[in-house]
């Protein structure tokens, strides 16, 4: 996945001279995850810039650059280090189009490596998507596959609206039969995808939890469950139709994500599914999420993160018999 | 263990200096003068350009009238709120005057007058404050960023814009305005640091008007002056009498010239005073005394210039009257513009959230549309 992301930025920079990559250590080092590897060398330090170490400054400067017609792609080094930039994000990035009644859109892509499962220490594993999805004016997308990493990042950079592009850290090293020579079609922002068809229940998920859900779906076959898996790919906009169609077919739904459950995206999705599918539902919409705790230390994270067993236990509860 | 007891504390040898260390920049030329720079009433006034000063005078008078009119509109309920710049007109006007057409102004919420002096229609400049829409103009058309309410957050934008313009090879300078209170915000520091590291063509103008709402400068900073802060970032700091328009204009113009020539950013502290309350919602008597206000009254920017220009025969009674007449025309137009009720379309609420409306917003727009239709029928 890492290479697909790099390739997406490289192709975008080659095609469009207004695309600028900026952030901490993105130049010479190529980023701490090496996602910007080689970009400074190929396009020069003016196009791939090591900035001073200040997230509000980085995003704030990107706002000004976008005001002048550039397309900044900002790298936040880790999920929990993006918080200093929230003021800029919420007060300006998300609102500039609205404040200026359409006169000044900000085509900024904010790449945020997010989520746990990599044994990272404190402040390196937050699932911060709930903060972003609660902010009108931002698009929020997250790829779960190598193809989508490329396609969604291209779409994000091409978008005239700001996009928070959440990169599931633990999938950086995932591999696929994907050739950068023949990049997949750009999926466009706001389209979910049924990754696995099934008939007995729908797992609704995104980003780091997709592989888990696919694994759970395989395991569930032994229990006689034929699970459908929907990959949202985009949290804002939320592809309600794909989700609703699926749940109406299967009659049961579980939302799976590793962010905290209370006030998490799953709460919103469950509410929407309930509103739209009430008469089709055989059981309440259930959720499998991280616990409502600060991200735990690495040695305990496996207890916090949703795993296949927890998903299967929840699926079993869909046998609603009250 | 105390410091004295630390191992080696009593040793007579001095540690060797670290290898090849040297300061990056000589700090001395960056330091501001100890006293605010002044022109009016000093020998420097001999150099005044009469035409420029007559224009400054007319703009000051117009600016004062604008402040009075906007304040009156608040009392009539036409404006939700107005942060006055009475006493600060010299800063506001000089900031606008030193910029070329292609340059950009980044005002704070207080700086409507600077926007107006740059040529923005006063009614458009006040849409934010009357509650019409957030920004009443196209920022690109006027090269004026939206008036910024979250303190100091517009400063990094100015840096980014100036940086982008320079990358593109365009001759553009950004001038960003901030209050004394705003200099305590993180964004102020990050913007100055970015600007200096990038050598961006930016001028930062701090209007030190004495207070951040009720908090005096002494509780805001322990720095000798706000201009001193520049040195830590590696840019020159300049201290200027903010009520002396000749001085503010000169210092700003010099900083703009330097930025344009590739010399990098400058931080300017203009020492001035907010004669009126923070806004109409504020009671200034709770935090400051009449004596202080009276002392500043004697240092009024319009009177300072008028005295100098009259003494030098640059302006006469007729010139003064002409400036006042011109200001009245502006005030009448402003009154008229503000008395016309703005026509707002509630459906606009959904128009500019995203380039393309989401399903979610379409749904919510339908709810509002049917509510409006029901209202119409009732
Ligand atoms: C980030 C932020 N915090 C608080 C406020 C509320 N507030 C509005 S004006 C103001 C004082 C600003 O003082 P100063 O920067 O000196 O500017 P002045 O009002 O004197 O022009 C405060 C605290 C704000 N607008 N933004």
Angle between helix A240-250 and B359-377 (nearest 10) = 100
Residues on chain A touching B158 (C-beta within 8 angstroms): 64
Is the Cβ of A88 closer than 8 Å to some Cβ of chain B?
Answer: yes
Nearest CA in chain A to B147: A99
Give the tens place of pLDDT for each residue, A254-282: 999 999 999 999 999 999 999 999 999 99
Given this model, what pLDDT does residue B141 score? Answer: 97
Question: Contact, A53 vs A22, CB < 8 A?
Answer: no
Q: Contact B138/A100 with Cβ under 8 angstroms? A: yes
Query: A103 to chain B: which residues are within 8 Å by CB?
Result: 135, 138-141
* pLDDT for residue A171 is more than 80: yes
Closest Cα partner for B256 from B205, B176, B208, B201? B201
- Whether ligand 1 lies within 6 angstroms of the CB of B321 is answered as no
Q: Do A125 and A134 meet the contact criterion of CB atoms below 8 Å apart?
A: no
Classify residue A225 by its DSSP letter: -
**Cβ of A120 under 8 Å from any chain B Cβ?**
no
CA distance B64 to chain A (A): 28
- Do B273 and B207 meet the contact criterion of CB atoms below 8 Å apart? no
Residue A135 CB neighbours (<10 A): 18
Contact at 8 Å (CB) between A21 and A48?
A: yes
Mutate to test the pocket of ligand 1, among B110, B151, B221 (most ligand atoms within 8 A of CB): B151
Stretch A115-142: mean pLDDT, rounded? 96
A100 touches chain B (CB under 8 A): yes
CB pairs under 8 A between A and B: 144
Q: Do B138 and A52 touch (CB under 8 A)?
A: no
Indicate the helix (H) or strand (E) that contains B292.
helix B290-297
Question: B156, B212, B226: which to mutate for ligand 1, most atoms within 8 A of CB?
Answer: B212
Pairing mode of beta strands A71-75, A139-141: unpaired
Q: pLDDT 10s per residue in chain B (378 long)? A: 565 666 666 667 777 777 888 888 899 999 999 999 999 999 999 999 999 999 999 999 999 999 999 999 999 999 999 999 999 999 999 999 999 999 999 999 999 999 999 999 999 999 999 989 999 999 999 999 999 999 999 999 999 999 999 999 999 999 999 999 999 999 999 999 999 999 999 999 999 999 999 999 999 999 999 999 999 999 999 999 999 999 999 999 999 999 999 999 999 999 999 999 999 888 999 999 999 999 999 999 999 999 999 999 999 999 999 999 999 999 999 999 999 988 899 999 999 999 999 999 999 999 999 999 999 998
Residue B3 has a pLDDT of: 58
Quick one: how far is CA A158 from the chain centroid? 17
Q: Above pLDDT 70, what percent of chain A? A: 98
Residues from chain B contacting residue A241 (CB–CB below 8 Å): 359
In angstroms, the separation between the Cα of residue B208 and the nearest Cα of chain A is 23
**Which among B153, B141, B71, B66 has a CA at the least distance from the CA of B108?**
B153
């Amino acid at each position: 996945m890492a290479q697909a992301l790099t390739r997406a930025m490289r192709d975008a920079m080659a095609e469009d001279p207004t695309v600028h990559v900026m952030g901490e250590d993105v130049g010479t080092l190529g980023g701490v995850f090496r996602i910007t590897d080689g970009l400074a060398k190929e396009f020069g330090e003016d196009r791939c810039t090591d900035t001073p170490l200040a997230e509000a400054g980085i995003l704030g400067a990107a706002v000004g650059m976008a005001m002048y017609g550039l397309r900044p792609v900002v790298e936040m080094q880790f999920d929990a280090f993006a918080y200093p930039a929230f003021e800029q994000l919420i007060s300006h990035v998300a609102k500039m189009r609205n404040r200026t009644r359409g006169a000044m859109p900000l085509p900024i892509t904010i790449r945020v490596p997010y989520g746990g499962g990599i044994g990272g220490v404190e402040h390196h594993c937050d699932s911060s998507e709930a903060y972003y999805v609660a902010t009108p004016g931002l698009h929020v997308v997250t790829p779960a596959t190598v193809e989508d990493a490329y396609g969604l990042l291209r779409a994000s950079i091409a978008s005239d609206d700001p996009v928070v592009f959440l990169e599931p850290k633990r999938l950086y090293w995932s591999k696929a039969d994907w050739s950068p020579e023949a990049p997949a079609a750009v999926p466009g922002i706001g389209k979910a995808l049924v990754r696995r068809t099934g008939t007995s229940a729908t797992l609704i998920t995104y980003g780091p939890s997709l592989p888990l859900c696919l694994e759970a779906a395989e395991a569930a076959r032994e229990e006689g469950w034929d699970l459908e898996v929907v990959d949202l790919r985009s949290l804002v906009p939320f592809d309600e139709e794909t989700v609703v169609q699926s749940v109406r077919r299967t009659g049961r739904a579980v939302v799976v994500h590793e962010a905290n459950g209370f006030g998490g995206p799953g709460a919103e999705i469950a509410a929407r599914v309930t509103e739209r599918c009430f008469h089709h539902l055989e059981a309440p919409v259930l959720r499998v999420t991280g616990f409502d705790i600060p991200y735990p230390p690495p040695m305990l994270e496996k207890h916090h993160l949703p795993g296949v067993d927890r998903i299967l236990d929840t699926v079993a509860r869909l046998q609603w018999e009250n | 263990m105390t410091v004295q007891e630390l191992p080696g504390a009593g040793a007579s040898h001095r540690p060797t200096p670290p290898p090849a260390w040297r300061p990056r920049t000589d700090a001395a030329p960056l330091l501001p003068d100890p006293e605010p720079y002044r022109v009016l009433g000093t020998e420097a006034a001999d150099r005044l350009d009469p035409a420029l000063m007559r224009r400054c005078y007319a703009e000051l008078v117009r600016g004062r009238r604008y402040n009075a009119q906007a304040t009156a509109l608040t009392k009539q309920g036409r404006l939700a709120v107005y942060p006055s710049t009475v006493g600060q007109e010299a800063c506001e006007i000089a900031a606008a005057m030193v910029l070329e057409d292609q340059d950009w102004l980044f005002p704070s919420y207080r700086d409507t007058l600077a926007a107006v002096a740059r040529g923005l229609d006063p009614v458009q400049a006040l849409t934010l404050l009357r509650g019409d829409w957030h920004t009443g103009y196209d920022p690109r058309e006027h090269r004026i960023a939206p008036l910024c309410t979250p303190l100091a957050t517009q400063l990094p934008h100015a840096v980014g814009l100036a940086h982008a313009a320079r990358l593109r090879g365009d001759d553009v300078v950004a001038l960003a305005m901030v209050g004394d209170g705003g200099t305590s915000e993180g964004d102020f520091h990050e913007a100055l640091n970015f600007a200096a590291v990038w050598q961006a063509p930016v001028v930062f103008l701090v209007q030190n008007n004495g207070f951040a709402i009720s908090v005096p400068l002494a509780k805001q900073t322990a720095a000798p002056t706000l201009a001193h802060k520049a040195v830590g970032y590696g840019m020159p700091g300049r201290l200027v009498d903010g009520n002396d328009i000749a001085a503010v204009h000169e210092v700003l113009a010099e900083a703009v010239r330097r930025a344009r020539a590739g010399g990098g950013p400058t931080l300017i502290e203009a020492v001035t005073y907010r004669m009126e309350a923070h806004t109409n919602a504020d009671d200034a008597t709770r935090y400051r005394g009449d004596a202080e206000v009276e002392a500043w009254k004697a240092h009024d920017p319009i009177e300072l210039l008028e005295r100098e220009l009259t003494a030098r025969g640059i302006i006469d009674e007729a010139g003064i009257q002409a400036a006042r007449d011109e200001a009245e025309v502006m005030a009448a137009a402003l009154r008229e513009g503000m008395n016309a009720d703005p026509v707002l379309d509630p459906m606009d609420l959904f128009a500019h959230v995203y380039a393309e409306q989401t399903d979610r917003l379409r749904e919510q727009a339908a709810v509002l549309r049917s509510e409006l239709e029901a209202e119409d029928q009732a």
